[in-house]
Amino acid sequence: MKNNKKNEEEEGKWIGEFRVGQCLWALQSSPSSPSFYEANVRQKWSGQGDFATESWQSLDLSV
């Protein structure tokens, strides 16, 4: 699991990551709202180790 300590304060607290098929989902809390989470979706190129695209989707996981 990757955890970039340098950007942790700007980007929020790291929650964890999980893989679904070729997508790697990374969850971290929003720095502006502790009860709000963002999912980082990284789609890998077929057959390559580098992440091809990266996009942020906001998820409200508060209960």
How many separate domains does the chain show?
1
Q: Is 28 exposed, middle or buried (0-12, 13-18, 19+ CB in 10 A)?
A: buried
SS3 9: helix
User: Which H/E stretch holds residue 40?
Assistant: strand 33-44
Check whether 12 has a pLDDT greater than 60.
no
Does the reported pTM lie above 0.75?
no
Q: Return the bridge partners of 57, or none.
A: 39
Confidence of residue 7 (pLDDT cuts 50, 70, 90): very low
Question: Does residue 26 register a pLDDT over 60?
Answer: yes
Q: Span 35-41, mean pLDDT?
A: 52
C-alpha 1/C-alpha 18 separation (Å) is: 9
